[in-house]
Amino acid sequence: MIEKKIRKADYTAIAQNKHAKYEYFIKKEFEAGVSLQGWEVKTLRAGKVNISNSYITLKNGEAYLFGATFQPLMTAPSYIIYEPMRTRKLLLNKRELDSLFDYVNREGYTVVPLLLYWKKSWVKIKICVAKGKKRFDKRVNIKEREWLLNKARIIKHISQ
């Protein structure tokens, strides 16, 4: 019998869009590569990235990441022109792109980034097809979260 070696996690998170799970119902997730410039990779290693206000658009058979902010480092050379909010191309298979186009063409679906991470030496982004939540759906999530906190307090109080 061959035993598998226990190894580190398959990925290391760089930036998360925590607000996405609160704002959307997540239907399906995809993993995509990101086309980056050299200074952007250095920024990723420093962790100066924000994807919370970003979104993904699909046009001409390709997917693009809009609104992600990559802050240039202070030690970066001055001869390079930095665009912190530039559009970045996402690298997906044709089958995955077709699937995304099918979902987006349905009413109410959108594509949202969830997580930017390192997978081995490659930068990947986890994107999802999602549908927006209404106000009452968000209230239900808040009530569930509060109940879990109260339940933990009650159990802790009883066990003492």
> What is the total residue count of the chain?
160
Mean pLDDT of 81-109: 87
User: Based on the structure, what is the number of domains in the chain?
Assistant: 1
Q: Give residue 15's pLDDT.
A: 87
Q: What share of the chain is helix, strand, coil (3-state, %, to 5)?
A: 30, 35, 35
Q: Is residue 76 part of a domain?
A: yes
Reference 23, options 103, 142, 126; nearest CA is: 142
pLDDT tens for residues 102-137?
A: 888 887 789 999 999 999 889 999 999 998 887 777
Mean pLDDT of 96-104: 90
Range of the domain at 86: 12-133
Mean pLDDT of 68-86: 78
Q: Is residue 54 part of a domain?
A: yes
- Could you say which DSSP state residue 80 is in? S
Mean pLDDT of the chain: 85
pLDDT tens for residues 6-42?
A: 455 677 888 899 888 888 888 899 999 999 888 888 8
For residue 146, the number of C-alpha atoms closer than 13 Å in the C-beta half-sphere is 6
Q: Is residue 86 part of a domain?
A: yes
Q: Is residue 35 part of a domain?
A: yes
CATH number at residue 118: 2.40.280.10
Q: Is residue 151 part of a domain?
A: no
pLDDT at 1 over 70: no
Structure-token pair, residue 148: 């879990």
Query: Could you tell me where the DSSP H helices lie in the chain?
Result: 20-23, 38-46, 94-105, 135-159
Q: Give residue 6's pLDDT.
A: 46
Q: Is residue 160 part of a domain?
A: no
Q: Is residue 65 part of a domain?
A: yes
Reference 84, options 122, 114, 39; nearest CA is: 39
Q: Is residue 28 part of a domain?
A: yes
Q: Please give the share of the chain, as a percent, with pLDDT higher than 70.
A: 92
